[in-house]
């Protein structure tokens, strides 16, 4: 049992002790950002709260929230809390949803990060005997270097293959004997398909995968597991807070354990900012407790999820967060109805379609149009027009009953939808072009 912990002293720390540690670290972080980061000091002054006012963990609620726009407004280094001489690494978010943001790490921050990743790897049963195929992008994106550092720390053999050139990836997997893979779930599925096409899916030595960096569903997990013959784990994080490893899955796989010795998680009502009870969905908010270069105070992730503080059979005392249902950024409002791409994915997988889809929203004569492109596989193909029309109706109706709004279904050829080898392009919202 013990071998599944990387840092049992922290991972199984009694809650009371953990809370004391959190409070001490929170007070230290707040004092530091107040002294060193003008935007935090201004916000706190305005809210009438001083570092010494943080006497209990609940006092965190007195601190103002931080949002992504703050990171943009202070771009590039306005929210760094240490001298740039101590910063040894920069990462940046892709900027797909706006101007890019940049974060930094001290040597100590990177050590912490490596340990967070190591917790996930060890919880997934990955260790020094493993060959870890890191197919996350290496570069400014946190995925590649993040997993790389942790994999090296546990003593595994790291294969820093990065993204792209899928045929070569499969060759490497076979020749080098990759036993574990780290990738975005959409790329894992793409690799699985290509492996099947090449007839090598069951010849690989893969036994475990760590996936993250984009929202995915349980149905997609089951597909990846079945097609690559592995056990799939979900790792969570975001660049602004650290990168992957903010929370991680144990083998019980009922939520991701938040590394609470380094982060405080809160769930709030996104409209009022007030905390919601455990188990109630709300926006996930993180405060970093040990980061030196780029601490964050009550950072609003825009991810919607729940927290569960019940004890976990795995023995870890860290609270668990649900797989985020979606990022509020990803949420589409179509004719006044909230639609998460993950809901579309669930319906498609349940009906036996590949989880490769594209949602196209447009506005015609001031009415939103809602279209979902679905890949038609040989298994689902029927050569009668009536039968295909029935299939389209079935998908539309299943989505209508889940969402309250039914899309127009457009069938397309398999593997024809744009696939980035990093993050999948799931949504094309043309309405923005007209505004």
Partner 1 sequence: MAVKQLSVFIENRPGTLVEVTEILAAADIDIRALSLAETPDYGILRLIVDKTERACEAVRASGRTVTVNHMVGVRICDRPGGLSAALRLLAGKGFEVEYMYAFLSEKENEAEVVLRVKGSSEDRAAAEKALAEGGFDLIV
Contact 147, 244 (CB under 8 A): yes
Cis bond upstream, residue 76 (ω within 30): yes
Q: What DSSP string describes 276-317?
A: --TTS-EEEEEEESS-SSS--SSEEEEEEE-EE-SPPTTS--
Our CB check for partner 1 shows the closer of 50 and 415 to be 415
DSSP-assigned letter for residue 3: G
Cα separation, 277 vs 267, whole angstroms: 8
Q: How many Cα atoms are found within 13 Å in the side-chain-facing hemisphere of 267?
A: 19
Please report how close the Cβ of residue 382 comes to partner 1 at its closest, in angstroms. 7
Please report how close the Cβ of residue 406 comes to partner 1 at its closest, in angstroms. 16
Contact 158, 152 (CB under 8 A): yes
**Contact residues for partner 1 (CB under 8 A)?**
376-378, 381-386, 388-389, 410-416
Contact 327, 316 (CB under 8 A): no
Please return the burial class of 118, using the count of CB atoms within 10 Å of its CB with bins 0-12, 13-18 and 19+: buried
Tell me the two tokens of residue 75: 């771009």
Our CB check for partner 1 shows the closer of 208 and 374 to be 374
Please report how close the Cβ of residue 422 comes to partner 1 at its closest, in angstroms. 22
With CA atoms as reference, report the closest residue to 1 among 316, 417, 402, 404: 316
Please report how close the Cβ of residue 380 comes to partner 1 at its closest, in angstroms. 8
Our CB check for partner 1 shows the closer of 15 and 390 to be 390
- Which residues, in sequence order, are bridge partners of residue 90? 104
Our CB check for partner 1 shows the closer of 99 and 393 to be 393
Please report how close the Cβ of residue 200 comes to partner 1 at its closest, in angstroms. 17
Please report how close the Cβ of residue 383 comes to partner 1 at its closest, in angstroms. 3
Our CB check for partner 1 shows the closer of 92 and 388 to be 388
Please report how close the Cβ of residue 377 comes to partner 1 at its closest, in angstroms. 6
Our CB check for partner 1 shows the closer of 394 and 410 to be 410
Our CB check for partner 1 shows the closer of 367 and 386 to be 386
Our CB check for partner 1 shows the closer of 130 and 193 to be 193
Cα separation, 358 vs 363, whole angstroms: 17
Our CB check for partner 1 shows the closer of 31 and 388 to be 388
Please report how close the Cβ of residue 198 comes to partner 1 at its closest, in angstroms. 13
CB under 8 A, 24+ apart: contacts of 29-34: 29/287, 29/288, 29/289, 29/290, 29/291, 29/295, 29/297, 30/54, 30/63, 30/297, 32/81, 32/295, 33/81, 33/295, 33/297
Helix (H, G, I), strand (E, B) or coil at 59: helix
Please report how close the Cβ of residue 158 comes to partner 1 at its closest, in angstroms. 34
Our CB check for partner 1 shows the closer of 315 and 414 to be 414
Please report how close the Cβ of residue 430 comes to partner 1 at its closest, in angstroms. 18
Contact 147, 126 (CB under 8 A): no
């Amino acid at each position: 049992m013990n071998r599944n912990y990387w840092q049992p002293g922290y991972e199984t720390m009694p809650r009371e002790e953990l809370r004391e540690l959190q409070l001490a670290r929170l007070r230290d972080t707040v004092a530091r950002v107040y002294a060193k980061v003008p935007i935090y000091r201004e916000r706190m002054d305005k809210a009438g709260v001083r570092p010494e006012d943080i006497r209990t963990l609940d006092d965190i609620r007195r601190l103002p929230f931080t949002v992504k726009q703050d990171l943009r407004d202070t771009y590039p280094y306005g929210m760094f809390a240490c001298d740039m001489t101590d910063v040894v690494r920069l990462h940046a978010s892709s900027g797909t949803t706006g101007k890019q943001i940049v974060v930094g790490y001290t040597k100590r921050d990177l050590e912490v990060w490596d340990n967070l990743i190591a917790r996930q790897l060890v919880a997934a049963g990955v260790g020094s005997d493993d060959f870890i195929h890191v197919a996350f992008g290496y570069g400014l994106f946190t995925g590649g270097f993040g997993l790389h550092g942790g994999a090296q720390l546990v003593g595994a053999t790291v294969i820093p293959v990065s993204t792209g050139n899928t045929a070569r990836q499969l060759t490497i997997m076979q020749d080098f004997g990759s036993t574990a893979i780290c990738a975005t779930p959409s790329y894992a599925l793409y690799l699985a398909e290509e492996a099947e096409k090449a007839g090598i899916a069951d010849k690989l030595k893969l036994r475990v995968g760590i996936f993250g960096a984009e929202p995915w569903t349980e149905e997609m997990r089951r597909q990846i597991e079945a097609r690559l013959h592995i056990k799939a784990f979900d790792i969570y994080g975001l660049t602004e807070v650290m990168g992957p490893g903010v929370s991680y899955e144990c083998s019980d796989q009922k939520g991701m354990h938040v590394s609470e010795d380094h982060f405080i998680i809160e769930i709030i009502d996104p409209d009022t900012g007030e905390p919601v009870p455990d188990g109630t969905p709300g926006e996930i908010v993180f405060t970093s407790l040990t980061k030196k270069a780029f601490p964050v105070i009550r950072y609003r992730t825009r991810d919607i999820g729940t927290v569960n503080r019940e004890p976990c059979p795995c023995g870890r005392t860290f609270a668990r967060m649900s797989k985020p249902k979606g990022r509020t950024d990803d949420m589409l409002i179509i004719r006044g109805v909230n639609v998460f791409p993950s809901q579309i994915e669930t319906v498609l997988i349940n009906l036996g379609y590949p989880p490769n889809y594209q949602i196209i929203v447009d506005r015609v004569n001031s009415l939103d149009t809602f279209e979902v492109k679905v890949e038609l596989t040989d298994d689902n193909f029927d050569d009668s027009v009536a039968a295909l029309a029935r299939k389209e109706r079935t998908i539309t109706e299943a989505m209508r009953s889940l969402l309250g709004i039914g899309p127009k279904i457009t069938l397309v050829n398999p593997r024809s939808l744009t696939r980035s080898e990093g993050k999948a392009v799931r949504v094309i919202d043309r309405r923005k072009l007209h505004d």
